């Protein structure tokens, strides 16, 4: 975990526009006041949520994905016959698959992770559409989509609940917990990750 945090520090200090853009959007669009900010309050059901078009995964969300995915410097079989390297990367930015025996380092792996996060965000912006979200909701959904794949995410009941009128935000967050199986079997690691994403989606632990 120490290696992950150090490498993230290097990557984001080398690419400060990402952070500056995120901070600018947060400042420009604002959040609910501390008295009416929580995701379950009635006083502020929409204020503070932003359109997906202007949302970017936060540094906290990015770090969470990196830690949950874990780091491997040498390509390995993920158990399903897919070669995986770095932080859960199975393909390179050009679309070519990871090959057996490939090597990486933490900084290169995080740059690859950022590239795949960008692709994930682009895909889920399209399928979620103009449904306003809190930053922490966006972070949770990007983490889920990165893990299960954008195709599965975009065809999910979760997205359908977001697209209801009005959006069923709590119901959508609850759907996260359903994605804890691999080949039909419950996996403890996935259950723990889904619990983290579910809590994040509800804004638990967010500062006022």
Domains of the chain, with CATH numbers?
2-201 (1.10.530.40)
**Angle subtended at Cα 87 by Cα 104 and Cα 76, rounded to the nearest 5 degrees:** 65
Radius of gyration of the chain (CA): 17
Contact criterion met (CB below 8 Å) for 38 and 141: no
CB atoms within 10 A of CB 38: 17
Q: What is the value of pTM for the model shown?
A: 0.77
pLDDT tier, 205 (very low <50, low <70, confident <90, very high otherwise):
low
Query: How confident is the model at residue 55, as a pLDDT?
Result: 97
Which pair of tokens denotes residue 87?
A: 């932080």
121 given a catalytic annotation:
no
**SS3 of residue 75 by DSSP:** strand
Contact criterion met (CB below 8 Å) for 54 and 138: no
Q: List, for residues 60-111, the tens digit of each pLDDT value.
A: 999 999 999 999 999 998 877 789 999 999 988 888 999 999 999 999 999 9
The CA distance from 53 to 207, in Å, is: 24
The CA distance from 109 to 89, in Å, is: 8
Q: List, for residues 22-71, the tens digit of each pLDDT value.
A: 443 343 334 333 333 344 443 344 458 999 999 999 999 999 999 999 99
Query: How confident is the model at residue 61, as a pLDDT?
Result: 96
The phi, psi pair for 32, rounded to 5°, reads -60, 155
Catalytic, out of 42, 43, 69, 137:
69
């Amino acid at each position: 975990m120490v290696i992950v945090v150090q490498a993230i520090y290097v990557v984001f200090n080398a690419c400060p526009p990402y952070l500056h853009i995120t901070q600018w959007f947060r400042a420009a669009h604002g959040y609910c006041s501390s008295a009416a900010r929580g995701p379950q309050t009635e006083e502020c059901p929409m204020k503070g949520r932003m359109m997906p078009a202007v949302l970017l995964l936060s540094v906290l969300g990015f770090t969470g994905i990196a830690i949950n995915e874990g780091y491997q410097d040498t390509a390995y079989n993920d158990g399903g016959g897919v070669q995986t390297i770095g932080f859960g990367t199975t393909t390179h930015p050009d679309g070519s698959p990871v090959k057996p025996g490939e090597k990486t380092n933490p900084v290169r792996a995080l740059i690859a992770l950022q590239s795949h996060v960008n692709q994930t965000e682009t895909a889920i912006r399209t399928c979620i559409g103009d449904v306003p979200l809190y930053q922490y909701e966006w972070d949770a959904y990007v983490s889920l989509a990165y893990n299960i794949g954008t195709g599965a995410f975009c065809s999910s009941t979760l997205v359908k609940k977001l697209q209801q009128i009005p959006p069923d935000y709590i119901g959508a967050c609850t759907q996260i917990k359903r994605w804890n199986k691999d080949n039909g079997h419950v996996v403890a690691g996935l259950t723990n990750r889904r619990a983290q994403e579910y809590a994040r989606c509800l804004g638990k632990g967010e500062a006022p």
